């Protein structure tokens, strides 16, 4: 590509829509497998902190990806002092907090500050395409999703009506390279799929065949921050106004990192419990770049998380990196 610098955050917002489109089409041409099915390439306007930011989306093999411009010399750091100063506002957003939980939280904060220190790190992020929705890896049902836009379908009738058909279908399809339901798989559930119960290694292998990798730690923090510089320790952008009742953190790329008070749901955050006092008891250290672990809400339950973390508590976010050596 002739204008690689145009794919970085310092330049990308200043490009015209036509210039962005040409660059995005080149990305698809050079970095997406020619065997992949490409659909619905389009620009999307985002509104973030009083700015307009245009991103480009495309559906690749049934998953919707968004383009994330890169950034050179990105400062990755935590700011515990500012976070603690804002805790009253954050705690006020949810009536589940009490003094005992707050004490546990600050004990955890002290551990990070004294033991881990978390000195700022300079990193450079290459441009990449990232899946809008993370992919669960689990033997436990978490619902059904629209194949093309990734939305979860909140309708129990679908599960009740097509449970047997979906079960039978996945008995025969879960070992195929493309384990999501195809358009013509079942007439009445053509655009609905249930996640596969593949093991992590199988999932990685299947995606590698299509030139897809999984998000790295640096890419994850950069994505979550929307290209900003400093984070709360939980990964929230350092601006309480962007925290929408603690359920998700929006950013200019339009990727919502979900949070939920229900402790049986999965979370997008792969680092929430990994570096704290109980982290070494987990069995998934080697998956730190890819894994998303069990979430019990904003304040962790330390007694609960003394137990090892299992494979079913993970989900993955595929990426296609844009890098020219």
Mean pLDDT, to the nearest integer, of 279-288? 32
Q: Are residues 271 and 187 in the same domain?
A: no
More confident residue, 221 or 305: 221
Q: Are residues 130 and 150 in the same domain?
A: no
Q: Are residues 94 and 18 in the same domain?
A: yes
Please state the φ and ψ torsions of residue 115, each to the nearest 5 degrees.
-85, -45
Q: Are residues 47 and 163 in the same domain?
A: no
Mark out the alpha helices in 68-148 (DSSP H runs).
80-85, 87-92, 99-111
Q: Are residues 45 and 166 in the same domain?
A: no
Any domain includes 77: yes
Q: Are residues 93 and 23 in the same domain?
A: yes
Q: Are residues 184 and 295 in the same domain?
A: no
Mean pLDDT, to the nearest integer, of 156-174? 52
* Residue 320, pLDDT above cutoff 60: yes
Any domain includes 82: yes
More confident residue, 146 or 8: 8
Top mean pLDDT of 40-54, 153-167, 185-199, 222-236 is at: 40-54
User: 10 is in which domain, residue-wise?
Assistant: 1-139+212-325
Q: Are residues 244 and 178 in the same domain?
A: no
Distances (CA, A) of 19 to 3, 13, 25, 43, 71: 10, 11, 10, 12, 19
Q: Are residues 148 and 129 in the same domain?
A: no
Any domain includes 233: yes
* Residue 293, pLDDT above cutoff 90: no
Cα–Cα distance, 300 to 13 (Å, whole number)? 38
Q: Are residues 86 and 147 in the same domain?
A: no
* Residue 277, pLDDT above cutoff 60: no
Lowest mean pLDDT among 94-103, 124-133, 216-225: 94-103
Any domain includes 204: no
Taking only the tens place, the pLDDT of each residue in 1-10 is 556 788 998 8
Lowest mean pLDDT among 7-21, 88-102, 211-225: 88-102
Number of continuous H segments (helices) and E segments (strands) in the chain: 7, 15
Any domain includes 91: yes
Any domain includes 46: yes
Any domain includes 199: no
What is the domain count for the chain? 2
Q: Are residues 224 and 304 in the same domain?
A: yes
pLDDT of amino acid 20 = 93
Any domain includes 163: yes
Taking only the tens place, the pLDDT of each residue in 189-240 is 333 334 344 455 566 676 777 778 777 666 766 776 666 544 444 433 334 4
Of all residues in the chain, the percent with pLDDT exceeding 90 is: 8
Q: Are residues 35 and 174 in the same domain?
A: no
Mean pLDDT, to the nearest integer, of 68-90? 61
Top mean pLDDT of 39-53, 134-148, 158-172 is at: 39-53
């Amino acid at each position: 590509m002739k204008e690689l610098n145009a794919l970085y955050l310092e330049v990308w917002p200043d490009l015209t829509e036509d210039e962005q489109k040409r660059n995005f089409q080149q990305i698809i041409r050079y970095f997406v497998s020619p065997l992949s099915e490409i659909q619905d390439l389009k620009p999307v306007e985002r509104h973030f902190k009083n700015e307009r930011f245009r991103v480009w989306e495309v559906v690749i093999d049934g998953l919707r990806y968004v383009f994330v411009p890169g950034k050179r010399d990105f400062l990755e750091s935590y700011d515990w002092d500012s976070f603690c100063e804002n805790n009253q506002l954050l705690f006020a957003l949810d009536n589940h907090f009490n003094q005992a939980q707050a004490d546990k939280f600050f004990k955890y904060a002290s551990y990070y500050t004294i033991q881990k220190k978390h000195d700022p790190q300079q990193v450079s992020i290459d441009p990449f395409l990232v899946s809008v929705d993370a992919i669960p890896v689990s033997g436990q049902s978490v619902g059904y999703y629209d194949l093309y836009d990734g939305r979860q379908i909140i309708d129990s009738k679908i599960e009740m009506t097509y449970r047997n058909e979906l079960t039978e279908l996945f008995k025969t399809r879960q070992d195929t390279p493309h384990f999501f339901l195809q358009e013509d798989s079942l007439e009445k559930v053509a655009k609905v799929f249930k996640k596969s119960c593949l093991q992590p290694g199988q999932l990685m292998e299947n995606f590698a065949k299509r030139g897809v990798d999984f998000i790295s730690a640096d890419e994850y923090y950069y994505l979550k921050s929307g290209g900003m510089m400093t984070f709360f320790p939980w990964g929230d952008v350092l601006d309480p106004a962007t925290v929408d009742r603690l359920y998700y953190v929006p950013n200019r790329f339009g990727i919502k990192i979900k949070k939920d008070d229900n402790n049986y749901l999965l979370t997008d955050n792969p680092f929430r419990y990994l570096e704290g006092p109980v982290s070494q008891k987990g069995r998934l250290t080697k998956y730190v770049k890819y894994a998303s672990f069990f979430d019990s809400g904003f304040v962790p339950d330390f007694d609960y998380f003394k137990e090892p973390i299992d494979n079913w508590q993970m989900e993955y976010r595929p990426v296609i990196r844009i890098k020219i050596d």
